[in-house]
Amino acid sequence: MSNEILWLISLFVMLSAALFVFRYGGKTGLIALVASVVILCNLEVMKLTTLFGFTVTLGNILYGVIFFATDLLNEVYGPAEARRAVIAGFVSMIAMTLVMQVALLFSPAQDPWAIEVNGAMRLLFGFMPRLAVASIAAYLLSQFHDVWAYNRIRRLSGGRHLWLRNNLSTMVSQLIDTAVFCGIAFWGVLEKKVFMDVLVSTYVIKFIVAVFDTPFIYMGRRIAAKGGEQV
């Protein structure tokens, strides 16, 4: 199976799972989902792969699920609940970083397997200040902008055109996220041409995710209406 087909299947499954969580967990489920997905994103982003001719990280689908969840919370419950989800994700990101840094301070048992596992953990969770700052800054700026923009567009359009506020707010916010993360993490580290390739390819993939989640947010609003939630 090609990477592209596997990626599309994963995108469909992840967005469907988010709807499932909302159907049976409501806003609490979505907030918990955001907190969990933020942790998974920071693990999955370590793997590079090739999609549609671009070299990208695997965290793009899961990160798109965060925007989907906060947009759905904003649509059904309002911006205050969406901001709660953003804060929950931020707290989980900080907690994971701190807990794993403490764990790495412990010396491993003098056993070949334990030493090998410790090395793998250091590779995966080793604290890199520049990347950590890039991740946190990009997350907070893009997510809070997304909440604000979604609500603003909703007011300006009189509550019409769900597809417009979902796509426009997410696409602009994803651009902010990509520019901030790549700028802090890679500017001056990569050659300019490589830097621009990474910047553009990362955003293009996130753009595709944003477009793909549009029918899912309509389904989410329908689930909320059937459940008697405010929409």
CATH number of the domain residue 37 falls in: 1.10.1760
Where do runs of H (alpha helix) occur along 106-128?
Answer: 112-125
**Strand spans (E) along the chain:** 48-51, 54-57
Domain coverage including residue 150: 3-226
pLDDT recorded at residue 128: 63
pLDDT recorded at residue 228: 56
Using the structure block, give the residue that is written with the tokens 């621009």.
196
- 117 by DSSP, 3-state: which? helix
Judge whether 166 and 221 are in contact, CB under 8 Å: no
pLDDT recorded at residue 199: 82
Residuewise pLDDT in 10s, the chain (231 residues): 798 899 999 999 999 999 999 999 999 999 999 999 998 887 887 777 788 887 777 778 888 899 999 999 999 999 999 999 999 999 998 888 888 888 889 999 998 999 999 998 888 777 666 777 888 899 899 999 999 999 999 998 888 889 899 989 999 999 998 889 888 877 877 778 777 877 888 888 888 888 888 999 999 999 998 875 655
CA-closest candidate to residue 96, choices 57, 139, 56, 60: 139
Residue 60 domain-assigned (yes or no): yes
pLDDT recorded at residue 43: 81
Long-range contact set of residues 125-131: C-beta below 8 Å, sequence gap at least 24:
125/100, 125/101, 127/97, 127/101, 130/184, 130/185, 131/185
The two structure tokens encoding residue 170 = 């997410």
- For residue 7, report the phi and psi dihedrals to the nearest 5 degrees: -65, -45
Rounded distance, CA 179 to CA 73, Å?
A: 25
Report the domain count for the chain.
1
Residue 120 domain-assigned (yes or no): yes
Residue 231 domain-assigned (yes or no): no
Rounded distance, CA 99 to CA 47, Å?
A: 22
pLDDT recorded at residue 47: 76
pLDDT recorded at residue 230: 55
pLDDT tens by residue, 144-188: 999 999 999 999 888 888 989 998 999 999 999 888 988 887 787
Looking at the chain, how many residues does it have? 231
pLDDT recorded at residue 194: 72
